[in-house]
Structure 1
Amino acid sequence: MSASYQADFNLWIKHTAQLLRSHHWQEIDLEHLIEEVEDLGKSEKRGIASQLTRLLLHLLKWQYQPQRRSDSWLDSITDARTQIELTIQDSPSLKNYPTEQLEESYQRARRQAAKQTELQISVFPEDCPYSLELVLDEDWLPEASE
């Protein structure tokens, strides 16, 4: 079974699901199944962190490049907020994860904003200037910086 896991992951998933449905417990590749179940939780967290970084990046660009504001930035901000909300609805135990990730995601967003805007990284505050409540508020956008 382990060879199937290495050779064709999708086939391994289908076969494992069949074994679970038919209650063939002894035939299940338990080691890899446990690994995959654990990875599902990591994937949800990675998704929140990624969306939070994308959201913060676009909030920074919105604030620091008001002359370049666009509907696509607004769409990205809205979509990131929605994706975070949906993930937390599916997994309420991750409700506090954005709080835990805010500063780390902000640091990633800050570096990306500097590259994308071609502004010096020092233009952007060292610490996240937005509260998580504002970041996730669907009606909030930062004011333009001078």
Structure 2
Amino acid sequence: MNTNLYEKDYYQWLNKTAYLLAEGRFSDLDIPNLVEEIESMGKSQKRAIESYLNVLLLHLLKRKYQPGHRSGSWRGSIRNSRWGIHKRIQESPSLKSYPQDVFLECYTLARANAADETGLPLEMFPELPPFSIEQVLDEHFLPSESTLLES
């Protein structure tokens, strides 16, 4: 298969690759680019979980530390983010532990974004998450001002 097609017309390359795979014409495949695409697909699932987790943590922090500004859109964002994480894990169960793996990294970004978006000082938000990953992913959990991480 002509590897230039990958660079010139990605969509056509995808269609031709699918056709060659379906026909069992493996020797005609553009293997290097096919491997790259498959690896990229796995990375994109992880990036999606990170993105949803970042937004989820941001809105949980805003809800906890700006109770007077709570809105339906924050609650909708929390629900949508949890659903997005759940959907990715449902499609790829091997990613079940991934939210835990990136929890602290995502929290660090969410903390900084919460300070930026609220105008509150960064120090207002604790360096360590005030809720657990289990709480964050629990569809019924919404923090209040008194929510503390249980030891």
- Which runs of 5 or more residues in structure 2 are unaligned? 147-151
* CA root-mean-square deviation: 0.9
Which deviates more, 99-108 or 20-29? Answer: 20-29
TM-score, length-scaled by structure 2 = 0.93
In the other structure, the counterpart of 2:99 is: 98
- Which runs of 5 or more residues in structure 1 are unaligned? none
Moved >3 Å (runs of 4+)? none
Mapped partners of 1:35, 1:120: distance in 2: 42
In the other structure, the counterpart of 1:39 is: 40
In the other structure, the counterpart of 1:25 is: 26
Instruction: Find the residue that maps to 2:140 and give its secondary structure.
Output: coil
Task: Tell me whether 1:133 sits opposite 2:134 in the alignment.
Answer: yes
In the other structure, the counterpart of 2:122 is: 121
CA distances 1:6-42 after superposition (whole Å, capped 9, x unpaired) = 1121111011111111111111000000111111111
In the other structure, the counterpart of 2:149 is: none
Percent identical pairs in the alignment equals 47
- One-letter amino acid of the counterpart of residue 102, structure 2: Q
**Aligned pairs, how many?**
145
CA distances 1:72-112 after superposition (whole Å, capped 9, x unpaired) = 10000001011111111111101100110100000110111
TM-score, length-scaled by structure 1 = 0.96
Instruction: Find the residue that maps to 1:140 and give its secondary structure.
Output: coil
- One-letter amino acid of the counterpart of residue 90, structure 1: E
